[in-house]
């Protein structure tokens, strides 16, 4: 059955990565109907709102969205894709492709996936004046001082819920199970700052630990997040799947991307109960906009994740293999990986291997 996919190209250099990626997917002869509603710059240029109703409707009537990256103008669409569509599991694989520029001495075999909770935590994004907290009569557990004494100052709210944690934990366990069938260790690491934030991050750990009982075939362990950051760099290959609250996941998935060659090669997929969208982890790279040198790998691999989600797993595998072979062969690489190829040249090299 034909799947409908919304394309949101994003800003700056982002469209230069999205357009040739769509061409690559078209070569795979999968039944996808692309929909390109006006969003961000294109919408504003036509005198429309940055995220017009018709774009929202197009998303609602689609099976998935392929999103580029946004510097601002497409942010309302991104907010809708995350919070509007409740895409709670942000899956960020870091897999080393031989030929990429890793800072590690022996990156071969590094293949981990960070599953970042995508809705809650400090991304509730409710901040304000500390003085406004006075009616709550809160006390700092560490200093014993009333919280209102920390002023003038600002607060931010961190919320972790049982339901929010359980669903992302299940997503992560199921991913670990699927990967185990493909030869990965079948291990899930839950990490948060549960030693200090015993209520919020403690709940994240406790709920995940409880869910672990339903997945006895997946080895489970917990790590405090600073310890995880250290081990991520020092013993990167020891990890398989990691489940992590939103903000730590944002930060450490960028770090994990650095281990395998940087943001140019880091894809992601954000999955909800009835929708998913796919985007590179990187931003819009305004410094190289218009130069046709942005590394499209992150977008191509995001598209491969999308193909898998839509049920075109063979095409997804073909696309990923073509990328892997292009790096292994090594003569066509974009500047971020130490090469001189343009975006289009890289995509042509990938296309020749499909």
Which residue, 76 or 339, has its beta carbon nearer to Mn ion?
A: 76
Positions in the binding site for Mn ion (CB under 5 A)? 250
Comparing every residue's Cβ against Mn ion, the nearest one is 250
**Annotated catalytic residue, options 80, 88, 123, 248:** 123
Closest among 218, 321, 271, 303 to 17, alpha carbons compared: 303
250 is catalytic: yes
CB 69 within 8 A of CB 10: yes
254 is catalytic: yes
Which residue, 87 or 326, has its beta carbon nearer to Mn ion?
A: 87
Please state the closest distance from residue 230 (CB atom) to Mn ion, in A: 20
214 is catalytic: no
Those residues whose C-beta lies under 8 Å from the C-beta of residue 315, and which sit 6 or more positions away, are: 25, 28, 30, 307
**Buried b / exposed e across 317-326, counting CB within 10 Å, b at 16+?**
ebbbebbbeb
CA distances from 234 to 32, 222, 229, 260 (A): 42, 17, 9, 13
Please state the closest distance from residue 255 (CB atom) to Mn ion, in A: 11
Please state the closest distance from residue 254 (CB atom) to Mn ion, in A: 6
Q: Which two tokens stand for residue 197?
A: 């934030």
Please state the closest distance from residue 79 (CB atom) to Mn ion, in A: 14
Long-range contacts for 247-250 (Cβ within 8 Å, ≥24 apart)? Answer: 247/121, 247/122, 247/123, 248/191, 248/192, 248/193, 249/90, 249/92, 249/114, 249/115, 249/116, 249/117, 250/116
CA distances from 50 to 42, 132, 333 (A): 8, 33, 35
Strand partners, 128: 155
Q: Is 312 helix (H, G, I), strand (E, B) or coil?
A: coil
226 is catalytic: yes
Give alpha helix (H) positions in the chain: 14-27, 41-45, 53-60, 75-79, 162-181, 200-212, 225-234, 246-260, 297-309, 313-329, 343-351
237 is catalytic: no
CB 84 within 8 A of CB 58: no
Which residue, 133 or 251, has its beta carbon nearer to Mn ion?
A: 251
Please state the closest distance from residue 250 (CB atom) to Mn ion, in A: 4
Strand partners, 146: 139
Question: Residues, the chain, total?
Answer: 354
Q: Which two tokens stand for residue 235?
A: 């013993």
DSSP for residue 96: P
Please state the closest distance from residue 70 (CB atom) to Mn ion, in A: 12
Please state the closest distance from residue 76 (CB atom) to Mn ion, in A: 18
**Annotated catalytic residue, options 26, 60, 129, 226:** 226
**Annotated catalytic residue, options 63, 250, 308, 336:** 250
Which residue, 121 or 250, has its beta carbon nearer to Mn ion?
A: 250
Which residue, 246 or 326, has its beta carbon nearer to Mn ion?
A: 246
Cα 224 from chain centre: 21
**Annotated catalytic residue, options 12, 73, 88, 193:** 193
Catalytic residue positions, numbered: 123, 193, 226, 250, 254
């Amino acid at each position: 059955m034909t799947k409908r996919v919304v394309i949101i190209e994003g800003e700056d250099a982002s469209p230069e990565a999205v357009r040739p990626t769509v061409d690559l997917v078209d070569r795979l002869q999968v039944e996808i109907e692309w929909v390109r509603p006006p969003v961000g710059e294109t919408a504003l240029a036509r005198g429309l709102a940055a995220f017009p109703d018709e774009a929202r409707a197009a998303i609602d009537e689609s099976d998935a969205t392929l999103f580029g990256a946004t510097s601002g103008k497409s942010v309302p669409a991104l907010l809708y894709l995350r919070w509007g569509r409740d895409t709670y599991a942000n899956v960020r694989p870091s897999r080393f492709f031989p030929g990429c520029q890793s800072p590690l001495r022996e990156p071969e075999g590094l293949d981990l996936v960070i599953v970042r909770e995508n809705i809650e935590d400090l991304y509730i994004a409710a901040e304000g004046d500390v003085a406004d907290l006075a009616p709550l009569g809160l006390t700092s557990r560490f200093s014993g001082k009333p919280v209102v004494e920390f002023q003038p100052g600002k607060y931010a709210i961190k919320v972790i819920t049982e339901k929010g944690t359980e669903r992302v934990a299940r997503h992560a366990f199921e991913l670990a199970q699927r990967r185990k069938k493909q030869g990965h260790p079948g291990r899930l690491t839950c990490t948060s700052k549960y030693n200090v934030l015993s209520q919020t991050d403690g709940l994240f750990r406790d709920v995940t630990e409880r869910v672990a009982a339903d997945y006895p075939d997946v080895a489970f362990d917990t790590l405090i997040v600073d310890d995880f950051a250290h081990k991520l760099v020092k013993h990167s290959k020891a990890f398989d799947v990691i489940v992590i609250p939103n903000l730590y996941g944002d930060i450490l998935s960028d770090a994990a991307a650095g281990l395998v060659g940087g943001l140019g090669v880091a894809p992601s997929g954000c999955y909800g109960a009835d929708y998913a969208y796919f985007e590179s982890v990187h931003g819009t790279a305004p410094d190289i906009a218009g130069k046709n040198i942005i590394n499209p790998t992150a977008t191509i691999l995001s598209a491969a994740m999308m193909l898998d989600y839509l049920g075109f797993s063979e095409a997804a595998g073909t696309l990923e293999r073509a990328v892997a072979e292009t790096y292994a062969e090594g003569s066509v690489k974009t500047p971020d990986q130490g090469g001189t190829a343009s975006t289009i040249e890289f995509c042509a090299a990938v296309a020749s291997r499909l």
